[in-house]
Structure 1
Amino acid sequence: MRSVLYLLTTLVVMGLAFWAYRENYRTQSAISEMSDIQRQIGRLREDLGVLRAEWAYLNRPGRLRQLVDLNFDKLKLVPFGSDQFVDVGQVAFPTPKAPEPPPGADIPTERPAGYPPRRPQESTP
Structure 2
Amino acid sequence: MRSLTYLAVTLLVMGLAFWAYRENYRTQAAISSMSQVQREIARLREDLGVLRAEWAYLNRPERLAELVDLNFERLQLVPVDSDQFMGLEHIDYPRPPAATPTDNTGDDANPEEQKP
Give the TM-score, by structure 2 length.
Answer: 0.80
Q: CA deviation at 1:92?
A: 2.9
For structure 1, the residue ranges without an aligned partner over 5 or more in a row are 112-116
Percent identity of the aligned residues? 61
Larger proportion of helix: 2
- Tell me which residue corresponds to 1:11: 11
The 2-side partners of 1:14 and 1:98 are apart by 75
Aligned-partner residue type, residue 47 of structure 1: D
Q: CA deviation at 1:97?
A: 4.9
Q: Count the aligned residue pairs.
A: 115
Alignment of 1:16-55 (within 5 A): 16-55=16-55
RMSD: 2.7
The 2-side partners of 1:84 and 1:69 are apart by 21
Q: Does 1:121 align with 2:107?
A: no
The 2-side partners of 1:20 and 1:73 are apart by 76
Give the TM-score, by structure 1 length.
Answer: 0.75
- Tell me which residue corresponds to 1:89: 89
For structure 2, the residue ranges without an aligned partner over 5 or more in a row are none
Query: CA distance change for structure 1 residues 121 and 3 in 2, over 3 Å: closer, same or farther?
Result: closer
Q: CA deviation at 1:122?
A: 4.8
